[in-house]
A and B are shown apart, each in its own frame.
Chain A
Amino acid sequence: MLTPVLTAFFLLTVILITAYLVRHYVFTVIVLRAAKKSTRQSPIMAGDYEPTVSILIPAHNEEKVIGALLQRIAETNYPKEKLEVITINDASRDATGKIADEYSKRYHFIKVLHRKPVEGGKGKPAALNAALKYAHNEIVLCFDADYTPHPDLVRILAAEFADPAVGAVQGRPVVLNEPQNVITRLITLERIGGYKIDQQARELLSLVPQFGGTVGGFRRNLISALGGFDESMLTEDTDLTFELVLAGYRVRYVEAAECYEEAVASWPTYWRQRTRWAKGHMQVCFKHEFAVLGSKRLTFRQKLDSLLLLNVYFMPLLSLVSLVIGVYLLFVHLAVAETLWFVVPVSMYSFVGNYAPFFEVSIGAYLDRRRQVQWLMPLMIFSFLLNMPICAKAFLSLIFDKLTGRRGHWVKTEHLGNTKTCL
């Protein structure tokens, strides 16, 4: 009785892993072909459309990075009369509020919203919701405090909203502190796989690019209609993506809108950040999976891609289970396992988050002209080994939350300002 059940489960996981492999193979081919042609021209040229823009910067204990970001935003070439910047000093215990106040005095378009410990420090969605009450402009862009935007970025992102069907726009985060250590280099590879290939392919194929919560924005009226961000979600960005897509709006990915970020540089920080991402993504999956399946607004291809996207953080867990079951089935000499076993270990060289296999990431690094970092591809296995327990912990924690009614709490990622030396 046990063996047939395990065989069925093994077959299911092999099918899922193969589906992801095929998906990412197609993505790689599509982006490669597009890269050989001249760069795709956006139907809307930057500068043609300049809506009023509110930039929201949630900041909780970000004294090491907030000044650099505000300085960069002050240097943007977007018309200042169409711009307002709201820095949310979210119950910081350091000098974040003081630094933001200094910038607010120097630049009239920069405002600071101070949240006291009683109301603040409850996570990014809560901070954004608080700031949305004071945002007056048509388009809202969000930046995490560790980002370094270039002067054209706001213009490029805002121009995409000329199309009324576009509900949200996502730019491309690029790791700036890549040379710092092996963790930042691995995250660089992960980001390349996730954005250079994955997001771009989804954009080229008119699938569902993902709003990443930073280096991107959305229409203020849409978020107001939704009643703001869902504060129970740990990945409010993915939640918003599906809220918008299910409401019939497009999410666009703009490859040219590059913005530089500080990647986490230690394993404990990596662990905490990825656990939140995994748990949040699983929350969104439970919330939207059936709505996506039943949606009449999404095409078959969009539904299929959305389902693969929603379930991506379950894959390390399923891979772990299929590895264990596969070993058992090989010991009992089951022909199915002997034939299909070779598919399973490919998971070990697939970056979690977008489940990008090694060939996709390396082609992305090649297209990005980052030769040295692509030599670290074999180290992807460590990322996978770490992400198995991360996803398992996130899943168990989510189940525990569901059973006990406990609310998941936001774990803030610490930013150390390590990008300063890279600029």
Chain B
Amino acid sequence: MKGRLNRLIHHLLICLFLVVIAFCLVFSYRLSDRFTLALIVFNVFFASLFFQLNGSKITKTVILAAGNLLGLFWSWLYQNLAKVGYSFFGDSSNVVFSIVYPILTLLWMVPFWSISLSFLPQLTTSKEAAT
């Protein structure tokens, strides 16, 4: 009974964090479609590689949701900087922001990716698991 309850709570938590991810995607689209694209790329790479590693699904989903929240915050910060830049320098600042955006996106994505791997236990082969 307790096991089933725990499983249910786990599933509910996973659903909750999936909702958080969905919220991030929707909200980023309201900021700009390129922010959403960055988050989609992050989610696709993360989900397809990270979820194959050891560790509970809940841990991985929490990390994925944290990555989405960080990405959203980064995009929001970036957009506000772009607005300030536009008010000072006009149209040319938009081009500059377009140029540096993917570079700055990688600046959060790469460290987040490398640190998040540290939260997972090491991979065990089926041979090791059997012993």
- With beta carbons under 8 angstroms apart, the residue of B38, B118, B125 that contacts A342 is B38
Q: Is B110 an interface residue (CB 8 A)?
A: yes
Does B126 contact A358, Cβ atoms closer than 8 Å?
A: no
Cβ of B6 within 8 Å of any chain A Cβ, yes or no, is no
How many chain B residues touch the partner (CB < 8 A)? 32
| A363 and B45 alpha carbons, distance in the complex (Å) | 12
Q: Which of chain A's residues 202-243 have a Cβ closer than 8 Å to chain B?
A: none
Please, which residue of chain A has its CB at the minimum distance from the CB of B34? Answer: A342
**CB of B87 closer than 8 Å to a CB of A:** no
Given the contacts A331-B95, A338-B98, A377-B114, A36 and B107 also touching, CB distance less than 8 Å: no
Give complex CA distance A7, B100 in Å: 19
Q: Is A88 an interface residue (CB 8 A)?
A: no
Is residue A362 contacting chain B, with contact meaning CB distance below 8 A?
A: yes
0/1 interface trace, chain B 37-64, chain A, CB 8 Å (1 if under): 1100100010011001100000000000
Contact with A along B87-108 (1 / 0, CB 8 A): 0000000010011011101110
Q: Is the CB of A378 within 8 A of B107?
A: yes
Q: Are A362 and B123 in contact (CB under 8 A)?
A: no
Q: A285 CB to closest chain B CB, in angstroms? A: 28
Does A29 count as interface, using CB distance less than 8 angstroms? yes
Question: Roughly how many angstroms separate A82 CA and B99 CA in the complex, as a whole number?
Answer: 62
Q: Is A330 an interface residue (CB 8 A)?
A: yes
Interface of B is mostly: helix
- Asked whether B113 lies within 8 Å of A377 as measured between CB atoms, the reply is yes
Contact B114 A374 (CB under 8 A): yes
Residues of A within 8 A of B3 (CB): none
- Distance from B76 Cβ to chain A, minimum over Cβ atoms (Å): 18
B2 within 8 A of A: no
Q: What is the minimal beta-carbon distance from B116 to any residue of chain A, in angstroms?
A: 9
Given A36-B123, A359-B45, A378-B114, CB of A345 within 8 Å of CB of B95: no
Q: Which residue of A lies closest to B108 (CB)?
A: A378
Known A29-B49, A341-B99: A38·B114 in contact at CB below 8 Å = no
Query: B122, A369: Cβ atoms under 8 Å?
Result: yes
Contact B125 A36 (CB under 8 A): yes
- Say whether B125 contacts A38, CB under 8 Å: yes
Q: What separation, in Å, do the CA atoms of A349 and B38 have in the docked complex?
A: 16
Cβ-defined contact, B99 with A330, below 8 A: yes
In angstroms, how far is the closest chain B Cβ from the Cβ of A354?
18
Q: A380 with B52: in contact, given A35-B125, A374-B118 (CB under 8 Å)?
A: no
Q: Is B4 an interface residue (CB 8 A)?
A: no
A366 partner residues in chain B, CB cutoff 8 A: 53, 117, 120, 122-123
Q: How far is the CB of B95 from chain A (nearest CB, A)?
A: 5
Q: Contact between A359 and B127 (Cβ–Cβ < 8 Å)? A: no
What's the least CB distance linking B38 to chain A, in Å? 7
Complex: A89 Cα to B37 Cα, angstroms: 58
Find chain B residues with CB under 8 A from A330 CB. 95, 98-99
Q: Are B122 and A375 in contact (CB under 8 A)?
A: no
B115 within 8 A of A: yes
Name the distance in Å between A334's Cβ and chain B's nearest Cβ.
Answer: 11
Q: Bound complex: CA of A128 vs CA of B106, how far in Å?
A: 44
Task: Decide if A363 touches B37 in the complex (CB within 8 Å).
Answer: no
A346 near B95: Cβ-Cβ < 8 Å: no
Q: Which of A372-386 contact B (CB under 8 A)?
A: 374-378, 380
**With a CB–CB cut-off of 8 A, which chain B residues contact A37?**
125-126
| Residue A32, interface by CB 8 Å | yes
Quote the shortest CB–CB distance from B86 to chain A (angstroms): 15
Asked whether A371 is an interface residue with its Cβ less than 8 Å from the other chain, the reply is yes
- Interface pair B52/A33, CB less than 8 Å apart: yes
Q: Which residues of A21-61 are within 8 A (CB) of B? A: 25, 28-29, 32-33, 35-39
- A342→B37 CA distance, assembly (Å): 10
A331-348, CB < 8 A from B: 331, 333, 338, 341-342, 344-346, 348
Interchain nearest-CB distance for B90 vs A (Å): 14
Instruction: A348 to B106: give the CA distance in the assembly, Å.
Output: 9
**A331 cross-chain contacts in B, Cβ below 8 A:** 95
A130 within 8 A of B: no
Residue pair A359, B95 in contact (C-beta under 8 Å): no
Query: In the complex, which residues of chain A have a beta carbon less than 8 angstroms from the beta carbon of B115?
Result: 375
Instruction: Return the chain B residue nearest A344 by Cβ.
Output: B102
A35 to B124, CA, bound (A): 8
Partner of B127, one of A38, A327, A342, A365: A38
In the complex, 23 of the A-B residue pairs with CB atoms within 8 angstroms, ordered by the A residue number, are A35-B123, A36-B125, A37-B125, A326-B99, A341-B98, A342-B34, A342-B41, A344-B102, A345-B102, A348-B106, A349-B106, A349-B110, A359-B45, A359-B113, A363-B117, A366-B120, A369-B122, A371-B118, A374-B117, A377-B110, A378-B107, A378-B110, A378-B111
A-B contact sample (14 more), CB < 8 A, given A345-B102, A366-B53: A32-B52, A37-B125, A38-B130, A331-B95, A342-B105, A345-B103, A346-B106, A348-B106, A358-B113, A359-B45, A359-B49, A366-B122, A377-B113, A378-B114
